[in-house]
Amino acid sequence: MSDSTKVNGIDNILQQYGSSTATATSKTQSMGKEDFLKMLVAQLKNQDPLNPMSGTDFATQLAQFSSLEQLTNLNNGITNLGLYQSSQANLQAVNLIGKEVTAGKGNGFVADGSPVNLYYDLSEDAKEVKINIYDEAGVLADTVSAYDQAEGVNNLTWNNGQDRSGNYTFKVYAFGATGSTLPVDTLVSGKVTAVSFKDKSIYVNVAGQELPFSEVREVKG
């Protein structure tokens, strides 16, 4: 048996191990470390005693196996870390129930006869901000405006909300010094009434809207 045959034989084991690990969908379909060692021992037992594997070749194969083992352990560690982080995020979301938060990706609120604060996030200073408020049927109910608003999170109070009740939505328009339209994000503020888990994502219910947990900007109290 030539040196190249010996090395290639164990290289084939490594290739089989890597292929099985990469494509396995269950424990029975993948080769574990114990299986690899059994095959390696069998390879050594069946080698030509008159032309055994050199110490250098054997050390090389063990080094390759050591690298595979380290990668397997690292992969398991990353998987466990991901599960831990996921459970921590789930717990943090559940703990928000009943708390006041401000969150992005929302544009609705519930009027209950009290003045309503409408929040928005400006990408830069704005000369003018205008907010259109729509009722549940999508009809324009009112418009409020403010001037010389600073970059960041701001809010306008809709005082006419004290005369209204029901579900409303709002749209924010921001304008620069030259009248150009500026990017602006609408925010909602209210108590978290529920938490849901869908498609490996977490959502919080605020002001009657289901919003991504990652969009929570502020927790009050």
Q: What is the pLDDT of residues 32-53, one digit of tens each?
A: 566 666 766 776 666 655 555 5
For residue 168, the enclosing domain spans 100-220
The 10s digit of each residue's pLDDT in 147-169 is: 999 999 999 999 887 778 889 99
* Domain shared by 150 and 56, yes or no: no
Please indicate, yes or no, whether residues 108 and 89 belong to a single structural domain of this protein: no
> Taking a C-beta distance cutoff of 8 angstroms, is the pair 126, 182 a contact?
yes
Domains in the chain: how many in total? Answer: 2
Are both 62 and 8 inside the same structural domain? yes
Q: How far apart are the first and last CA of the chain?
A: 76
Domain boundary among 62, 94, 126: 94
**Do 23 and 132 reside in the same domain of the chain?**
no
Q: Does the pLDDT of residue 3 top 70, yes or no?
A: no
Q: Are residues 65 and 171 in the same domain?
A: no
pLDDT of residue 93: 83
> Distances from the Cα of 123 to the Cαs of 43, 91, 105, 132, in angstroms?
66, 32, 15, 19
- 197 shares its domain with 126: yes
* Domain boundary, last residue among 60, 94, 128: 94
Question: In terms of domains, do 121 and 207 share one?
Answer: yes
Sign of CA dihedral 81, 86, 90, 92: positive
Do residues 86 and 116 both lie within one domain?
no
The angle at the Cα of 43, spanning 38 to 44, to the nearest 5 degrees, equals 100
Of 50, 74, 94, the position where a domain reaches its end is: 94
- For the whole prediction, is pTM greater than 0.85? no
Is the same domain home to 113 and 209? yes
CATH of the domain at 116: 2.60.40.4070
- pLDDT, tens digit (0-9, with 9 covering 90-100), for 4-22: 444 455 455 445 545 544 5
pLDDT at position 119 is 94
The residues facing 120 across adjacent strands are 154, 186
Say if residue 156 is in the same domain as residue 176: yes
Taking residues 110-133, report their average pLDDT.
93
Q: Which residue has the higher pLDDT, 52 or 178?
A: 178
79 and 104 share one domain: no
84 shares a domain with 104: no
